[in-house]
Structure 1
């Protein structure tokens, strides 16, 4: 029987922004699908701070290859200053300014996606997105186009009651559910396990091909630690305060330096003040966000890479951080908090050295071991680099295509 080609309409509804992990993940996924899929990929993306997404790829991700897409980035009309003034004048009395602006904005998005899909109705047979609201808005299309299938990629579970109700309804009408960890099974409606694939995030091949600093090559007695990525998520600390506290407990004679790379302006100020208060300004340097290529070169020079996630529902069950797979591919010693979602990828004591999240004393002991017994840990880097080969973006794309049956 002849295989039906998968012509995928891929929707990324959040603004494309090279500072955001969801943009990086989406661009890698779309690029890998374009390499692995025999059908067409129609990509709908929303211009954010970048001029267009192909320029974003060229500037920030030069290792993308063979990107052949049939779609284009769509620039959503923004409210003019005059429009905003009218809305503000009208809505200020009603205290509905934000609501009206949101309704206007979402209407523009959904109408544009709907019209593009209608134009492509004879070609597209799959819709793929991370947003359940997008699928909810596009469900009526199935009334007219019976062969249209819906796939969603889950990265979190809604917290509000309304969002959870619409989320459950949407999942029941999806033809396949992809989720970055296995723990989403405990939250999705019953009876959907047959259409469920665990799909962790991935890593670019360049992390392997450029691994010129072999594990254990660093003969320096000053141990170099590195953390890469935002220091907060939705304004909440990602374990960085615990990390700084743990370093403050180390023996004053321990020789080490720490780079925390990826801070925004507020994080630079807040965490910088905390480092000063702990007397670690000569040991810990906080550096603003930088392009991925620059950060990767610095990561190559580190001995130990850090993932000090705190314990909460999101990090325990739903997190699949890009840095996890990038750290693995770099072949470095990894220190991570013991969280179920992380240990799905890094089984305890097999590929990394770990500690109980929130246990600052235990974390300090782990850091001390990395400084004083580093040679005993370098085998972990060798093993974890081999394991990382399972998580390339192309292999992830193959899992997506295999799920679309």
Structure 2
């Protein structure tokens, strides 16, 4: 009969660690940020059998708290290539979505805010005002009605008219929107969360699209994106974002090169690969992996 202390518990809720560790010595925590009471949880982090984090920056913080580095696996988010790895002709995608064929389409996908923090839409609107071109249409897909209204009001205040702000759509529909666009934008501002903790799904979905990406130069972003697979700009700098947009519009070869490299790089970031890596990391100790394989 299996000892209850050998059961594996997997949780993303740090507040459960003190309870779960009463029942098992094999508690695994997947952390997406550090809690405010990190000193309180320090001993429970140290006691964890394994810890999964999204970024190297978070791993460094846990090591500083006393967690052994070989207990921590950095495992960023991933993508479903069967959904977001589709490749449609841009004009056909626009035809399906009733989008203009004669515009340069810029896109942002996903929620407009996280933890009530702007995710870069304000800088996009400011950059559009700087560019001031009528042949550009900006589309943002995934906002709540409240946030759509908020950013629509900001656009009107800035006298920006060529924008389309939309609510959430299905993943399959979202992938078609990406195929319809010329450039995909993710200019996160600098905050502790965005700089050190996040692993945004939109980053991996954008990489799979075969379209060029403009992103901000933040530590968490640069763990996946770099100057070879994306155009990186300064955070909180609409002028630099406008420069990046202008550069990719003018330099089609650069756009193609960046998009192709991102498409190659995304192949390692699938959900299946992530699951397999995590299971192996949790189970490779003292024959546990062998016993697991025998039981499945």
**TM-score exceeds 0.5:** yes
**In the alignment, what sits opposite 1:236?**
117
1:53-98 per-position Cα deviation (integer Å, ceiling 9, x unaligned): xxxxxxxxxxxxxxxxxxxxxxxxxxxxxxxxxxxxxxxxxxxxxx
Match of 1:391 among 236, 245, 269: 269
SS of corresponding position for 1:386: helix
TM-score by length of 1: 0.64
Q: Which runs of 5+ in 2 are unaligned?
A: 95-100, 285-296
Q: 2:47 aligns with which of 166, 170, 173?
A: 173
Structure 1 or 2, whichever has the larger Rg, is 1
Q: Over the residues paired in the alignment, what is the CA RMSD in angstroms?
A: 2.3
Tell me, yes or no, if the aligned pair for 2:141 and 2:168 is still in contact at 8 Å.
yes
Note if contact 1:255-1:371 (Cα within 8 Å) is conserved in structure 2: no
Q: Does 2:254 match 1:372?
A: no
Alpha-carbon separation, structure 2, partners of 1:335 and 1:398: 30
Q: 1:235-268, CA deviations, whole angstroms, 9 ceiling, x for partnerless residues? A: 111121111000111143x521111111112101
Q: Which residue of 2 aligns with 1:403?
A: 281
Structure 1 residue 376: Cα displacement: 3.3
Query: Corresponding residue for 1:184?
Result: 58
> Corresponding residue for 2:8?
126
Shift of 1:213: 3.5
Name the CA distance, whole Å, in 1 between partners of 2:142 and 2:85.
24
* 2:152 counterpart residue number: 272
Structure 2 length as normaliser, TM-score?
0.86
**Structure 1 unmatched ranges of 5 or more:** 1-119, 143-147
Q: Could you say which residue in structure 2 is the equivalent of 1:315?
A: 194
Q: Which residue of 2 aligns with 1:136?
A: 18
Give the aligned length. 274
Whether the 8 Å CA contact 1:250–1:364 is kept in 2: the answer is yes
Q: Which residue of 1 aligns with 2:139?
A: 259
Q: Which one is further off, 333-342 or 299-308?
A: 299-308
CA apart distance, 1:222: 2.2
Give the SS at the match of 2:35: coil
Once the 2 structures are TM-superposed, how far is the Cα of residue 302 of structure 1 from its aligned partner?
A: 1.1
Alpha-carbon offset, residue 224 of structure 1: 0.8
The match for 2:165 is 286
Deviation string, structure 1 residues 179-217 (Cα, Å, up to 9, x no partner):
100111332122411211110001012146522348xx9
Distance 1:244 1:277 in 2: 10
Residues 182 and 212 of structure 2 are in contact (CA less than 8 Å); yes or no, is this contact kept in structure 1?
A: yes
CA contact (8 A) 2:106 2:185 kept: yes
Q: Give 4+ residue runs of structure 1 displaced > 6 Å after superposition.
A: 120-124
Residue from 76, 79, 100 that aligns with 1:203: 79
8 Å CA contact 2:45–2:67 kept in 1: the answer is no
Question: Equivalent residue for 1:340?
Answer: 219
- 1:372, distance to aligned residue in structure 2 (A): 2.8
